Structure 1
Amino acid sequence: MTYIAKSVWAVLLSVTMAAAVQAQDIKNESKKVKAVIKQLFDGMRQGNPDMVAGAFYENATLQTTFTHRKTGKSVLHNGGAYTKFVESIKKKKPEDTYDERISKYVVQIDDNLASVWTPYQFYLNGKLSHCGVNNFQLFKSEKGWKIISIIDTRRRKKCK
């Protein structure tokens, strides 16, 4: 084997190994991102406001989009700061159950930013209430991955 051929093989091997390491890093980070989202929904199910709050980064926001039933117009509702959501979990009646079921996670990560698309069905007290898609934005801070924004769609019809 010539010197040039050996050099080409060495470069190809290095690139392949680097790509494998990077793919493994992304897979590990993806698991960490999913764990934060799971923490949020487990906290909702358990009625644990501290668990819910721990999934968010400071000043995180929540928004919802839907089609108005009477006018048929698209609406963007600003749910405000995540702290309002945490307060609603604190005020939840013990007999009420909030169960948001995620059917899959589509995770994209670049550096310290993650975007996650999650189709869901929401059950209130065991009955299907609505469905849609969540879009999470997460930031990797010194405390790990934290949710900085959630926007979701909501509909009562065509839920699978």
Structure 2
Amino acid sequence: MKKILIVIFCAVSTFSFAQSDEKSEIMKVVNRVFEAMRTNDSTMLKQSFTENPNTFTAFINKEGKSQLVTDNFQRFIDAIGQPKDQVWNEPIWNEKVEIDGNLASVWVDYAFYVDDQFSHCGVDAFHLIKREGGWKIFHLVDTRRRLNCEVPDEFKP
């Protein structure tokens, strides 16, 4: 009986370790997006995504109606790569990573700052696919709001 429990424990530990490694690799891809934003590096940004990813923004408009806007990924790349005097900083927290085979989803809370000025907060939801070259983002949707933003102190400038 002890041998069976040891085998089961080892199998579970190995699976947990592998899942932890995968989650770490996935979060490296997601974190590169935010590093690219901080450093105006559009090449780094593109390397995190598949070709032609889907990007959206969900929000409540001034009339209180739910909106879903399809974003233009090339415009996002151009905005990131544009030289600017200010730093775009988007700290994230509460990372939730789910994996099934070659599909992963990541859900994170964020706050967006231009230099030290708060702009908005929300959630980023990523879908990634694992290919021969590693994990790549193929779908990104974010929410945006200016009110009811509870940013932990360690993520404020």
Percent identity (aligned): 35
1:8-27 counterparts in 2 under 5 A?
A: 8-27=1-20
Greater radius of gyration (CA): 1
1:74 equivalent to 2:58? Answer: no
Structure 1 counterpart of 2:139, one-letter code:
S
User: Separation in 2 of the partners of 1:101 and 1:125?
Assistant: 12
Residue matched to 1:150: 140
Contact 1:36 1:146 in 2 (8 A): yes
Structure 1 counterpart of 2:84, one-letter code:
P
Residue matched to 1:122: 112
User: Separation in 2 of the partners of 1:55 and 1:93?
Assistant: 20
Residue matched to 2:35: 42
Provide the TM-score with structure 1 as the length reference.
Answer: 0.88
Structure 1 counterpart of 2:13, one-letter code:
A
In structure 1, stretches of 5+ residues that fail to align are 1-7
In structure 2, stretches of 5+ residues that fail to align are 151-157
The one of 50, 53, 74 aligned to 1:57? 50
Shift of 1:45: 0.3
1:78-109 alpha-carbon deviations (Å, 9 max, x no partner): 114x333112212x342032111102211111
1:85 equivalent to 2:107? Answer: no
User: Separation in 2 of the partners of 1:101 and 1:20?
Assistant: 31
Residue matched to 2:123: 133
> RMSD across aligned C-alpha pairs, in angstroms?
1.3
Shift of 1:110: 1.2
User: Separation in 2 of the partners of 1:124 and 1:159?
Assistant: 16
- Determine helix, strand or coil for the equivalent of 1:17: helix
Provide the TM-score with structure 2 as the length reference.
Answer: 0.90
Matched residues, number: 150
Structure 2 counterpart of 1:25, one-letter code:
A
